[in-house]
Amino acid sequence: MGSEAALLLFSGGQDSATCLAWALQRFGRVETVGFSYGQRHHVELQARQRVRTALSEAFPDWAPRLGQDRVLNLDLLGDLGGNSLTSTAAISERPDGLPDTFVPGRNLLFFTAAAALAAQRGCRHLVAGVCETDYSGYPDCRDDTIKAMQVALNLGMNERFVIHTPLMWRDKAETWQLAHALGGDALIDLMLEESHSCYLGERQQRHPWGYGCGTCPACELRAAGWQRWRDELA
């Protein structure tokens, strides 16, 4: 895979930042794509650029492999509504037990749009930070969903895409561990300062595990994973 090109679905959060480092170690060119869909945590769109810039500066061996970045407009997800990520509604639980931070169809649409871009850019590999270990129960993060998506994309687009999900079976503690293995303390510090994972878009409060409100599901998962990782190191 060393000379091949990959396209990373890049939100600017902890998971996708880890996946960016993972991809840069493996592929000759790594491009990134983000999505603007009316998310209330739109600050992640700025975090994406900060992570890319800081990573290029901190890891000069990776910098030549980091290719172009695109942000695609998928506002239709916000127009459809019905969730607390594209509105100011309080985060709560849906009748089916899923948190209402679940945006129906989001990852399916993300992969479809990313594959269309990848085909134009000559990127056979798609990389995403989805997982079904430490997650909120989102059905579009499951391994079965991603495998089915790969089949559908290849059949529908006459391509031979390979979808990589390096975090699929890792919990958040193991994701911190992977980031450290990839880039040491420098990558951890970069992620703490520049990445963004809080659903409420909070960038005023700095915790040991990074910025965030500290109470939304994304912050709770990140904080718990950080503590487990640090406990294992002690």
Q: pLDDT, tens digit, for every residue of 46-95?
A: 999 999 999 999 999 999 999 999 999 999 988 887 777 778 777 777 78
pTM of this structure = 0.94
- What type of residue sits at position 232? E
CB 75 within 8 A of CB 38: yes
- Summarised one tens digit per residue, pLDDT across range 173-222 is 999 999 999 999 999 999 999 999 999 999 999 999 999 999 998 999 99
Rg of the Cα atoms in the chain: 17
Query: Cα separation of 170 and 16, whole Å?
Result: 13
3-state secondary structure of 216: coil
Instruction: State the pLDDT at residue 221.
Output: 92
**How far is Cα 231 from Cα 67, in angstroms, rounded to an integer?**
36
Residue 53 CA: distances (Å) to CA of 47, 65, 99, 211: 10, 13, 33, 18
Q: What is the pLDDT of residues 23-55, one digit of tens each?
A: 999 999 999 999 999 887 889 899 999 999 999
Q: What is the pLDDT of residues 117-146, one digit of tens each?
A: 999 999 999 999 999 987 678 899 999 999
Domains, the chain: 5-197 (3.40.50.620)
